[in-house]
């Protein structure tokens, strides 16, 4: 009986090479140094998006190679991306509530 969730010939026996793992580690180290370096520069309003962008890039690299999503069934990526989309929707709706109230704060 075939099961379409995975390909028996290909999954799960993909072995990522040691070279790939060490290259990804080196890339993460470089990105960490860049994170610290750009924090000391003044990009005005862009500092936060830059820091968040680098962190997202690092997370993506970890997910794809250390967590093997690049060699996993497509449903794995679909679940992950789907959850991030839903977190985005929750953020959007909650922000639209909080930021449109008149708060008696200060």
Partner 1 sequence: MSERAANAHPALRSHFEDMNQQHATGTLGMWFFLVTEILFFAPLFFTYALFRSGSLDPSFHAGFIAASHHQNIKLGLTNTIVLIASSLTVALGVYFAQTNKRKALVVMLVLTLLCGAAFLVIKGIEYNEHFVHHLFPGQNFHWDGAPELARGAHMFYILYFCMTGLHAFHMIIGIGIFLYILRRATRNDFSSEYYVPVEVSGLYWHFVDIVWIFLFPMLYLIDPASKH
Cβ-Cβ contacts under 8 Å for 67 (sequence gap 6 or more): none
Find the shortest distance in angstroms from Cβ 52 to partner 1. Answer: 8
State the binding string over 5-34 for partner 1 (x if CB under 8 A, else -): xx-x--xxx-xx-x--xx-xx--xx--x--
CB atoms within 10 A of CB 65: 19
Q: Is 35 exposed, middle or buried (0-12, 13-18, 19+ CB in 10 A)?
A: middle
Among 30, 34, 98, 19, which residue's Cα sits nearest to residue 65? 19
Residues that bind partner 1 (CB under 8 A): 1, 3, 5-6, 8, 11-13, 15-16, 18, 21-22, 24-25, 28-29, 32, 35-36, 39-42, 47, 51-52, 54-55, 58-59, 62-63, 65-68, 72-73, 75-76, 79-80, 82-84, 87, 90-91, 94-95, 98-99, 103, 105-106
């Amino acid at each position: 009986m075939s099961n379409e969730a995975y390909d028996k010939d290909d999954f799960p026996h993909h072995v990522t090479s040691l070279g790939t793992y060490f290259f990804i580690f080196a890339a993460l180290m470089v990105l960490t140094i860049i994170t610290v370096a750009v924090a000391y520069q003044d990009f005005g309003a862009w500092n936060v998006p830059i820091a968040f962008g680098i962190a997202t890039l690092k997370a993506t690299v970890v997910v794809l190679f250390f967590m093997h999503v690049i060699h996993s069934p497509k449903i794995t990526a679909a679940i992950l991306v789907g959850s991030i989309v839903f977190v985005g929707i929750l953020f959007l709706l909650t922000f639209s509530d909080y930021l449109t109230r008149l708060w008696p704060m200060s």
